[in-house]
Structure formats: C-alpha cells, structure tokens
Amino acid sequence: MNENIKKFLELAVTNKASDVHLAVNMVPKLRVGGKLVEVAGYDRMEKERMETMVMSLLDETKRKKVESGREVDFSFSMVGARFRVNVYHQSGLLAAAFRVIPDKIPDFAALGLPPVFESLVDMRQGFVLVTGPTGHGKSTTVASVLNRIAQTRACHIVTIEDPVEYLFPQRNAMISQREVGKDVHSFVDGLRSMLREDPDVIFVGEMRDPETISMTLMAAETGHLVFSTLHTRDTVGSISRIMDYYPPQRQAEVRSQLSLGLAYVISQKLVPRKDHKGRLVAMEILNNNYACANLIRTGKIEQIYSQLQTKTKDKPDENMITFESHLARLVQSGQVELLEAQKWANKIMVFQDAMKSNLY
C-alpha cells in the first residue's frame, strides 16, 4: 500500500470521518459529522500521484477493470478500521470514495436504537428491511443486530455482501460471510446456494433487482430470519419501491408474498447533534401487523402512514413511530436543533403537529 494513501486513511480514523474522497485536480476531502471538509495542508491531487495511490490498493483483476474504464468495489482493513472502497472515473479521470467502517461493531446503546430492536434479536423468522439514504448507517444498524444475535444464540448466520463490510467475531453463532465476485457470482446465486447451507439468519447486503427481491422474500417465507437494505427515505416509499421493480401483472403476487413475510420496515437518517458532536439516528418504524399486512395485500399502500401515526404503544402488534415523531422527540429532549430537524423531516406539517403534541 502506498504511504500517502495510508496517511489519508489514518487521518480519517483520527478525525472520526465517515468518508474519504480523492479525485484528480481536487483537494482531498473528509466527511466529518455529515459535512465535507478539505484536508488542511494538501494541494489539488495530481494525476500521476492519484493513480499511484489508488492502483497500490488493487489486485491485477481490479486494476485491469479500472484501466478499461470500469469501476470496482472492494474492502480492506488497516489502521484500526475497515474501509469500503469504490474506485471510479469522473471527467475521464480517476477518483475514489472510501467509507470508514469501525473495527468494533457498535452496540444498541451506542447507536441509540429504540427498545423495539430487542425484539428483533428474539425473532426466529420474517423479513426485516432497513432503509435510508446512502451513508446514513443502514449497514451499521444491521451489523449491530446480527452481532447481538451472534452473542446470544447458537445459530448459523450467513451474509451476502458486495463487498463485505463489518467483520463479525465468531461467538455463540457460526457466521459465514460471502462476498459477491469473490465467494459467489451474484446475490441471486448466493441466495440459491444459501438455502442449502442450513442458515438460521440471512443478511442480503442490498436488494438490487426483482430476482434478488423474490429470492429474499422466499427465504423469509420458508422460515428464516432475513435482513436486507434498500435506498429509500421512508417506510411507505420502501414498500412502493419494491412493487415498482415488478410489472403490473406480477404485483398482486408480490404484494401477497410481502404481506406474509414482512416483519418490520425500519427507515433511518443520521441527523446532526445539537452539541455538534457527531450525528444521531432518527427512525421511522413499521411493524407489519394484521392491519398493515392487509393494506399491503390489497394495494392500499398510502394508507399505511395512518397506522404509523396511531400504533405507537409498546405492544407486540404496535411498536411503530413516524420519522417526524422521532425527530420531535429528539428536539424536545434537547439533542437536535429545531431548524436542523425541519430540514430532515419528510412531512413538515406532520413534524410541526408532533412538536405541538403532548405526546412528545
């Protein structure tokens, strides 16, 4: 590994950055607390220097892909952290984005996860979908749940990732982590073979196409506990996005499959803290109770939001919250600025009503 790039990555870990951005003719940047900042003391990156740094991270196969103009994804560990990397081209020149993945998997308390997450650890079957924008902690949330399961249950956890992010220690559970392009050809191929590997818990890193979604739902239907992620901003939009992957003639079948297998949809965003010491997670949680399952099956997806607003008690068939309500709680507890919360709310009028309510 080139010493210059090693220094950048060490700097990112020291400054608790979530990402590092390198590109030709640009000053290197870190994302700290959700904001991009230039690395002090560095000039714009020269083409030759950039190529030397990035190519030092690649094996021969990846190097050939990059030289042919394609992008590559991979991960590696060093300096007390792990990094997920995407090497790509912009304006015909080389660029790279590094996601910093902590060596230690954070626990529920460190992440500020609500009490409903304890019930996820005890589940034996069903589909849990974690959604949110890129860079807002979806993989970390899932990793925290899987790590807790691994600590408390003697079971077989199998993951399919592209690339592998968090590395799980082998504890009570047996954990098999499989990487697309290295251990399996694709998510679909990995899911097909996985069902013959005696899994109890399955994690599909991302649902990218109709076939992967169908195989993921089938795994949940056949008695497994399945986790996956999707890039959507709220719970209702997540269900709609899944349906949009399919032609109209197949949507009734998929709605029925989803209504039966879905357990929770958890949508999250990371919001800047009032004390400027990092970010807090704000969540919208859909518990797929009988009423929600019926709305999914009959295609009345838009009516699910009313369930989120009313089924908020700590009961097995409720345990829901809107993103706006969670934001209001963070504001009223003094953890997030009001103006900052307003920027992140999906429905500003609902957020304002939540701020006025005695419930929050």
Stretch 73-80: mean pLDDT, rounded?
85
3-class secondary structure per residue, 252-318: HHHHHHHHHHEEEEEEEEEEECCCCCCEEEEEEEEECCHHHHHHHHCCCHHHHHHHHHHCCCCCCCC
Percentage above 90 pLDDT, the chain: 80
Residues in the chain: 360
In a domain, 354, yes or no: no
| Residue 260, pLDDT score | 94
Number of structural domains in the chain: 2
Are residues 140 and 41 located together in one domain of the fold? no
Please report the pLDDT score of residue 147 as a whole number: 96
pLDDT tier, 271 (very low <50, low <70, confident <90, very high otherwise):
very high
Q: In this structure, how many other beta carbons lie within 10 angstroms of the beta carbon of residue 143?
A: 23
Residue 351 lies in a domain: no
Asked if 73 and 196 sit in the same domain, the reply is no
pLDDT band at 339 (very low <50, low <70, confident <90, very high): very high
**Domain for residue 356, yes or no?**
no
Q: For residue range 189-248, what is the model confidence (pLDDT) as tens digits?
A: 999 999 889 999 999 999 989 999 999 999 999 999 999 999 999 999 999 999 999 999
pLDDT, average across residues 317-334 = 91
Average pLDDT over residues 37-48: 89
Report pLDDT for 7.
85
Q: Which residue has the higher pLDDT, 351 or 34?
A: 351
342 lies in some domain: no
Judged against a pLDDT cut of 70, whether residue 19 lies above it is answered with yes
Clarify whether residues 179 and 72 are in a common domain: no
Q: What is the CATH number of the domain that holds 56?
A: 3.30.450.90
In-domain check, residue 137: yes
In a domain? residue 97:
yes
Write out the residue range of the structural domain in which residue 28 sits: 3-102
Task: Report residue 189 as tokens.
Answer: 């191929």
294 inside domain: yes
pTM of the prediction? Answer: 0.90
Q: What is the pLDDT of residues 278-299, one digit of tens each?
A: 899 999 999 999 999 999 999 9
The string of pLDDT tens digits covering residues 80-95 is 789 999 999 999 999 9
The arithmetic mean of pLDDT across residues 261-275, rounded, is 95
> According to the model, what pLDDT value does residue 79 have?
66
pLDDT value at 256 more than 50: yes
* Average pLDDT along the chain: 92
Same domain? 25 vs 165: no
Q: Would you say 224 and 265 are in contact if contact means Cβ atoms under 8 Å apart?
A: no
Could you say which of 86, 102, 118 is where a domain stops?
A: 102
- Residue 360: pLDDT band with limits 50, 70, 90: very low
Q: What percent of the chain has pLDDT over 70?
A: 99
Q: First vs last Cα of the chain: how many Å apart?
A: 51
What is the pLDDT averaged over residues 349-354? 93
pLDDT at 315: 73
CA distance 266 to 128: 8
Are residues 274 and 217 both part of a single domain?
Answer: yes
CB-CB contact of 37 with 105 (8 Å): no
